[in-house]
Structure 1
Amino acid sequence: MSKLPLNQLPQINGDLVAIQQRQALQRYMERTGERKTIALELESKSPLEVDTSVRASFRKSIINPLDGMAIERIIGNNDLFPISYLEAGLKASKAVCRIEVRDRLGRVLGHGTGFLVSPDLLLTNNHVLENEDAAIYSLGQFNFELDLDLRERRTVNFRFEPARFFMTDARLDFTLVALESLSSDNIPLSEFGFLPILSPSGKALIGEYVSIIQHPGGAPKAVTIRENKITDVVDEFIQYSADTMEGSSGSPVFNDEWLVVALHHAGIPDPKDSGKYISNEGIRISSIVEYVRNRQSGFSDDYKMLIDAMVKQWRNGLASEPFETESLSAEELSIDSYAGLTGYDPAFLGEEHTVPHPTYPSSVEEDLAPISGGGTILHYTHFSIAMSKSRKLAYYTVVNIDGNQLVDVSRANDKWYFDPRIERRYQCGPELYGGNSLDRGHLVRRRDPVWGEQAEVANRDTFHFTNCSPQHAFLNQKTWLELENYILDHAENEKLKVTVFTGPVFRPDDIIYRGVQIPSEFWKVVAMVKVDGTMSATAYLRTQKNLIENLEFAYGAYKTYQVPITLIEQLTSLSFGELRTHDPIGPSIQVVETIREMIV
């Protein structure tokens, strides 16, 4: 941004705004003839007949079949909505925020609008947040709106974290940027949810009405409801009539199902009167998705994790085909591919610090899935897994991490495999993970066993359905990931060998979804030999119900959710033997009972 007088508060990025408006006007003028033809067609035909058959087909596919009036609204014969339409709009509005653009001295330069599109990422215009410097000093202000008494609600401020993720493009006029997970007053970003964005074209048709949730002129949140008809679709852009003002830049444009169809970015100025606008324009969400998709192969692992929640929505958007997508395909390797694998090495930390597999009662042993070659432990490269027949998920996994031999191997194509050594009915496949917010959460993290000469094979081995468990995106991509990053980074930086056990907690009252009981909690037990030659063993528990908070992490300065190993033993029926004697928390009955009360 250019330097400005102290007493001047201009429109943000005024030059960029002018450029976007001129380009929008040019597109509008070039399509004058086509737009008149479309308008004439709409006098006798419905949007489903005027727009292309492919777009119209997708538009119909995303309608809730229980909404009997939806088609009538699209073709213009009915404006009736179920009363839940207003509730759905209010829910969608939670993810929309005002962006307060500031300079490095904290001076307010202007305002825009943005909205969350994943647990961590916000979408707005390039001309609102042009670069990382603009983002790092600015704020995302949620809840800036009026209540039923027309009083301002309490605003919740989040800082942007462009160092963690930042992507922008001036031509498509969008910026995608990470936000911090906790506000200045410790309110989690997850409270505001996010708006799913779908890849296919046809979420709204020419002649349909759209709604826009916005912060006009930087004012409290406002909405224009169905007064905005789509007049044209021009390459990567949608043009529509709408009531917007400066500050509405970066607003989500919705169809009648409250799905985002475009990112509002410009008013189209009247060439005959500079003070008036003849239309508005937004960037098609499908075009933004395509831009990001074409650059995915060059992303770092951290970038890929941050956009994974959006990718799930892009790929699983078809209501009629929630599972038949390339990303959820599954294969099966030949059984010879596993020959010679010995898996986890109990003596990995040294003969004097042997860490055997956990032991378990007969009730657990009877539920372990039998392996075709005998036994109940599946061995992979540097890790092993024991599977539950009744839950179709791992009881536990255990991996050796060698911080001195870690290899950087690309995530590749995310191809997932069934393990032919146990029956398919004991493995949850792609049918569990399609069309929802469940991630295929690696239990043995992909990077952990990727070391030594077998790094490539270890990388592939982690992509088995035996090694994943259904984890909500907020858990898998945020707190759990941060813990795993810390463990691996510490091992690499200190050249340590580390043993990590991981698994779910199986409760009889876990919810049933698509025939599978979804675990509410996940645990880790981490064992290592410290520099002084003594053993350290620490345990961590993370719930998908957000019931555990503010427990200290003893494996360094990082803070997360630490619990006694004895509690993990009680919750899982697994016994870790001598490891519990090396736990700095110790088997305090009072500590165990206090934590148990928090999670039960």
Structure 2
Amino acid sequence: MLRGDQLPQINGDLVAMQQQQALRRYIERTGIRENSAHELKSKSPLEVDTRERASFRRAIINPLDGLAIERIIGNNDLFPISYLEGGLKAGRAVCRIEVRDRLGRVLGYGTGFLVSPCLLLTNNHVLENEDAALFSLGQFNYELGLDLKERRAVNFRFVPGRFFMTDAKLDFTLVALEELSSDKSPLSEFGFLPLLRPSGKALIGEYVSIIQHPGGAPKAVTIRENKITDVVDDYIQYSSDTMEGSSGSPVFNDEWIVVALHHAGVPDPKGNGQYIANEGIRISSIVDFVRSQQSGLADDRKMLLDAMMKQWQFNDIKAETMPAEELSIDSYDGLTGYDPAFLGEEYTVPHPTYSSNVVQDLAPVSSGGTILHYTHFSIVMSKTRRLAYYTVVNIDGNQLIDVQRDNDKWYFDPRIDRLYQCGPELYSGNSLDRGHLVRRRDPVWGDKAEEANRDTFHFTNCSPQHAYLNQNTWLELENYILDHAENDKLKVTVFTGPVFRTDDRVYRGVQIPAEFWKVAAMVKVDGTLSATAYLQTQKNLIENLEFAYGAFKTYQVPISRIEELTGLQFGELRDHDPIDSPEVQVIEVALDIKV
């Protein structure tokens, strides 16, 4: 934590205010804290804290770590050597914040850390407003190597115009960073630290660690030197015999899960310039605040929050314990789904045909056939993969309507067996998004826009996509197609689906597709039909679903290539593909990430 006297230019008054409020809380809780300390002499943290918090603390312990409980109750300080590796991995997401003014002058330093592929968390008193963020830098890799020499720092600018949320009471700021540094290094190289909503990630009497840039110095860590003395309202207070850590540092439990955002020292009321404790804002309080603001955000900002908002769950959690709904089967009456003649009678685009092995794997619909019809789109499901083989949607660029997102309420489809649908148990506590195959905005047009919006929130219409793919390049490809439809008032037909390979990795009992494809057909202004196909990969993103991130690319490929990969046949669309020839096999597509 940067002391007020170290930061005369940047928010010195805010720092002093936070410290005085922390001292007030400390004094008010003195009696309770002393009683807790007395209890801890004879009881373990698991016994002293509330039953609910202690229950969750047990729940997030890796069952393979046989010494974890012994550490918590203070009977053993042994760790597996992988603990150090976990700290190094967690530390990658922590950066020094160089606070600058409009002229580029350095005003001071703080600490921040990535909590999603492109969002960073720090204190409000470090980045108080959008202007402060706009001229400042996030400096990753600013640390000493084994030779005790400084490593090369990687500088990223903040992009508050893309996302900025702050609150002075909770003393936090959540802000977007650019995705390429000044030297073109990708932000994805540094990963991010997931934030878990439930309370109980660390208990009174337990020790925590802080990764920080103290006083703007190279990255440092205090390992288990801070004992939690109190948990009150939105705050955690902890003792420390180490130097104060930088404002905005993550506070970790022994599993390297973030439990608090470090923000203030508790000054000694004797006025001797010393500190009697430190204080952090509880992550559960920050997450609850962000959730309370989410409904009022624009869709693009809501999407940026998705990776941060996922709650941690056990890998073996059961589907019936997780929230999901099912509409009455009558609500699907009269739905005709995708219209093959949507582009015009002379440009009919039928559903694809299938190879014999695909036919055997199609999930049967209760009313007959294998096609699930929704509003303006249709879906065909795989029994064995429990995901869509493909979706197909009609987009009318002349009638698109802006309908608000429905708070991400997802539904099972009662028209096919629940066994053929992946539910929320696949997507919790990791970096997998429920990636819409039919994008939410695509079928939302005409007098049934509201129904179409709701229909896109079916588990049949989502496929596990890594958050970094779903919220970046895949989104830009969807924007590219939809923007052309809307701006040029075009009608467009879009087929979308995953590539199923036999060697796709298995995660929670589901084979996770490594590639996704789109085939878009439209009638151009000159009256001719055009069909193009695209392929994107997330293979290098899903090697480790909890921590790994990496670059990926978009390719325009011949429609015949999609047919080879999927077993689907698109018939005459191949004749209208400008690159479907032996001479052209693949074209790398440059999609600009908009901020």
- Shift of residue 589, structure 1, vs aligned partner: 4.4
Q: How is 1:172-211 mapped onto 2 (pairs within 5 angstroms)? A: 172-211=170-209
Contact kept, 8 Å, 1:331 with 1:417, in 2: the verdict is: yes
Matched residue SS, 2:372: strand
Q: 1:15 aligns with which of 13, 16, 32?
A: 13
Question: 1:244/1:186 Cα in 2 relative to 1: closer, same or farther (>3 Å)?
Answer: farther
Cross-structure match for 1:139: 137
- Shift of residue 145, structure 1, vs aligned partner: 1.1
User: Number of residues paired by the alignment?
Assistant: 576
Contact kept, 8 Å, 1:238 with 1:282, in 2: the verdict is: yes
Cross-structure match for 1:305: 303
Contact kept, 8 Å, 2:7 with 2:108, in 1: the verdict is: yes
Contact kept, 8 Å, 2:532 with 2:558, in 1: the verdict is: yes
Matched residue SS, 2:203: coil
Q: 1:258 aligns with which of 256, 265, 268?
A: 256
- Shift of residue 318, structure 1, vs aligned partner: 6.2
Cross-structure match for 2:363: 369
Question: 1:47/1:588 Cα in 2 relative to 1: closer, same or farther (>3 Å)?
Answer: same
Cross-structure match for 1:4: none
* Aligned amino acid, residue 409 of structure 1: V
- Shift of residue 132, structure 1, vs aligned partner: 0.8
Question: 1:53/1:417 Cα in 2 relative to 1: closer, same or farther (>3 Å)?
Answer: closer
Verify: 1:531 aligned to 2:525, yes or no: yes
- Shift of residue 245, structure 1, vs aligned partner: 5.6
Determine the C-alpha separation between the residues in 2 that align with 1:42 and 1:388. 55
Verify: 1:293 aligned to 2:287, yes or no: no
Matched residue SS, 1:73: helix
Determine the C-alpha separation between the residues in 2 that align with 1:24 and 1:332. 47
- Shift of residue 504, structure 1, vs aligned partner: 0.4
Determine the C-alpha separation between the residues in 1 that align with 2:10 and 2:203. 32
Q: 1:91 aligns with which of 89, 92, 99?
A: 89
Question: 1:323/1:164 Cα in 2 relative to 1: closer, same or farther (>3 Å)?
Answer: farther
Question: 1:243/1:252 Cα in 2 relative to 1: closer, same or farther (>3 Å)?
Answer: farther
Cross-structure match for 2:374: 380
Deviations 1:242-299 (A, max 9, x none): 3666771000001111111110011122222342222111111111112112222222
Cross-structure match for 2:593: none
Q: How is 1:406-421 mapped onto 2 (pairs within 5 angstroms)? A: 406-421=400-415
Question: 1:132/1:244 Cα in 2 relative to 1: closer, same or farther (>3 Å)?
Answer: farther
Q: 1:568 aligns with which of 562, 575, 585?
A: 562
- Shift of residue 241, structure 1, vs aligned partner: 2.0
Determine the C-alpha separation between the residues in 1 that align with 2:318 and 2:418. 21
Determine the C-alpha separation between the residues in 1 that align with 2:57 and 2:551. 43
Verify: 1:215 aligned to 2:213, yes or no: yes
Determine the C-alpha separation between the residues in 2 that align with 1:583 and 1:550. 24
Segment drifting more, 94-103 vs 512-521: 512-521
Determine the C-alpha separation between the residues in 2 that align with 1:468 and 1:190. 24
Contact kept, 8 Å, 2:536 with 2:552, in 1: the verdict is: no
Deviations 1:501-541 (A, max 9, x none): 10000111111223322111000111222223233322211
Contact kept, 8 Å, 2:555 with 2:586, in 1: the verdict is: no
Cross-structure match for 1:248: 246
Deviations 1:169-191 (A, max 9, x none): 00110001111222222222222
Cross-structure match for 1:557: none
Determine the C-alpha separation between the residues in 1 that align with 2:505 and 2:584. 29
- Shift of residue 448, structure 1, vs aligned partner: 0.7
Question: 1:531/1:88 Cα in 2 relative to 1: closer, same or farther (>3 Å)?
Answer: same
Deviations 1:196-224 (A, max 9, x none): 11112221111111100001111111000
Cross-structure match for 1:520: 514
Determine the C-alpha separation between the residues in 2 that align with 1:167 and 1:52. 31
Matched residue SS, 1:171: coil
- Shift of residue 473, structure 1, vs aligned partner: 1.4
Q: 2:103 aligns with which of 94, 105, 124?
A: 105
Determine the C-alpha separation between the residues in 2 that align with 1:40 and 1:338. 62
Cross-structure match for 1:402: 396
- Shift of residue 22, structure 1, vs aligned partner: 1.4
Segment drifting more, 303-312 vs 248-257: 303-312
Determine the C-alpha separation between the residues in 2 that align with 1:562 and 1:593. 5
Structure 1 unaligned runs (5+)? 1-7, 552-559, 596-600
Deviations 1:138-179 (A, max 9, x none): 111111111212222222222111111111000110001111
Deviations 1:331-373 (A, max 9, x none): 3333332222221112212223222222232222232222233
Deviations 1:95-139 (A, max 9, x none): 111111111222211111111111221110001111111111111
Determine the C-alpha separation between the residues in 2 that align with 1:446 and 1:321. 28
Question: 1:73/1:248 Cα in 2 relative to 1: closer, same or farther (>3 Å)?
Answer: same
- Shift of residue 549, structure 1, vs aligned partner: 7.4
Determine the C-alpha separation between the residues in 2 that align with 1:264 and 1:576. 56
Matched residue SS, 1:499: strand
Question: 1:77/1:366 Cα in 2 relative to 1: closer, same or farther (>3 Å)?
Answer: closer
Segment drifting more, 96-105 vs 483-492: 483-492
- Shift of residue 582, structure 1, vs aligned partner: 2.9
Cross-structure match for 1:24: 22
Segment drifting more, 495-504 vs 428-437: 428-437
Cross-structure match for 2:334: 340
Cross-structure match for 1:556: none
Matched residue SS, 1:569: helix
Segment drifting more, 350-359 vs 229-238: 350-359
Deviations 1:15-54 (A, max 9, x none): 2111111111221222222222222222222222222222
- Shift of residue 407, structure 1, vs aligned partner: 1.6
Cross-structure match for 1:5: none
Segment drifting more, 584-593 vs 467-476: 584-593
Segment drifting more, 251-260 vs 184-193: 184-193
- Shift of residue 396, structure 1, vs aligned partner: 0.9
Matched residue SS, 2:429: coil
Verify: 1:461 aligned to 2:455, yes or no: yes
Cross-structure match for 1:505: 499
Determine the C-alpha separation between the residues in 1 that align with 2:532 and 2:65. 52
- Shift of residue 74, structure 1, vs aligned partner: 1.4
Question: 1:287/1:550 Cα in 2 relative to 1: closer, same or farther (>3 Å)?
Answer: closer
Question: 1:268/1:82 Cα in 2 relative to 1: closer, same or farther (>3 Å)?
Answer: same
Question: 1:137/1:400 Cα in 2 relative to 1: closer, same or farther (>3 Å)?
Answer: same
Structure 2 unaligned runs (5+)? 1-5, 542-549, 590-595
- Shift of residue 9, structure 1, vs aligned partner: 8.3
Determine the C-alpha separation between the residues in 2 that align with 1:573 and 1:120. 36
Question: 1:343/1:274 Cα in 2 relative to 1: closer, same or farther (>3 Å)?
Answer: same
- Shift of residue 321, structure 1, vs aligned partner: 5.1
Determine the C-alpha separation between the residues in 2 that align with 1:461 and 1:248. 47
RMSD between aligned residues: 2.4
Determine the C-alpha separation between the residues in 2 that align with 1:17 and 1:305. 32
Question: 1:534/1:117 Cα in 2 relative to 1: closer, same or farther (>3 Å)?
Answer: same
Cross-structure match for 2:232: 234
Matched residue SS, 1:508: coil
Q: How is 1:8-87 mapped onto 2 (pairs within 5 angstroms)? A: 10=8, 12-87=10-85
Q: 2:149 aligns with which of 136, 151, 175?
A: 151
- Shift of residue 434, structure 1, vs aligned partner: 2.9
Q: 1:331 aligns with which of 325, 342, 356?
A: 325
Determine the C-alpha separation between the residues in 2 that align with 1:249 and 1:594. 43
Matched residue SS, 1:469: strand
Question: 1:259/1:549 Cα in 2 relative to 1: closer, same or farther (>3 Å)?
Answer: closer
Matched residue SS, 2:521: strand
Determine the C-alpha separation between the residues in 2 that align with 1:465 and 1:550. 25
Matched residue SS, 1:287: helix
Higher relative contact order (Cα pairs below 8 Å, separated by 6+ residues) = 2
Contact kept, 8 Å, 2:336 with 2:374, in 1: the verdict is: yes
Determine the C-alpha separation between the residues in 1 that align with 2:79 and 2:418. 45
Contact kept, 8 Å, 1:199 with 1:317, in 2: the verdict is: no
Cross-structure match for 2:592: none
